[in-house]
């Protein structure tokens, strides 16, 4: 009788541990999916920022080239020299901003890939409890409503 009672208590404690552990994995998966959705929603704006920065760089480089050409025809003109120097500074600043926009988009994609890996890892841990417990534990997948180019 005592042995049967201990066995039942052990099974109950084990089931509670499995339930707590599986809920922990479900919680982590939900947290990762929410963060991933937030990042996915910012990709469109970040891509637009990158494109705008690239256009600005091209415009600044063109202006710099025009001002440098004008200065070549009249190298003693201080007004043209100042204008060419300002155009060169603008081109340098805009190219740095463009590189930063590229880096930001790359980092965003890396973060999303990392979250995908974390979700898959937690899902595989959760699958262990599905097999052990016999009942399926499903984690709802958020629907990505953002429109991506």
Read out DSSP for the chain?
-HHHHHHHHHHHHHHHHHHHHHHHHHHHHHHHHHHHHHHHHHHHHHHHHHHHHHHHHHHHHHHHHHHHHHHHH-TT-HHHHHHHHHHHHHHHHHHHHHHHHHHHHHHHHHHHHHHHHHHHHHHHHHHHHHHHHSS----PPPP------
* Residue 5, pLDDT score: 41
pLDDT in tens, 76-103: 999 999 999 999 999 999 999 999 999 9
Q: What is the pLDDT of residues 2-18, one digit of tens each?
A: 553 433 444 344 445 55
For residue 110, what pLDDT is reported?
97
pTM confidence score: 0.68
Domain locations in the chain?
2-26+45-132
């Amino acid at each position: 009788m005592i042995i049967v009672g201990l066995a039942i208590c052990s099974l109950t404690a084990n089931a509670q541990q499995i339930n707590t552990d599986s809920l922990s994995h479900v919680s982590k998966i939900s947290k990762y999916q929410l963060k991933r959705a937030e990042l996915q929603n910012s990709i469109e704006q970040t891509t637009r920022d990158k494109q705008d920065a690239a256009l600005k760089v091209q415009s600044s480089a063109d202006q710099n080239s025009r001002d440098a050409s004008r200065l070549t025809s009249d190298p003693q003109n201080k007004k043209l020299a100042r204008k060419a120097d300002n155009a060169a500074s603008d081109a340098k600043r805009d190219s740095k901003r463009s590189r930063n926009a590229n880096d930001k988009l790359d980092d965003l994609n890396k973060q999303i890939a990392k979250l995908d890996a974390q979700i898959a890892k937690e899902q595989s841990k959760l699958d262990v409890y599905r097999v052990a417990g016999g009942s399926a534990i499903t984690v709802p997948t958020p629907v990505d409503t953002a429109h991506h180019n």
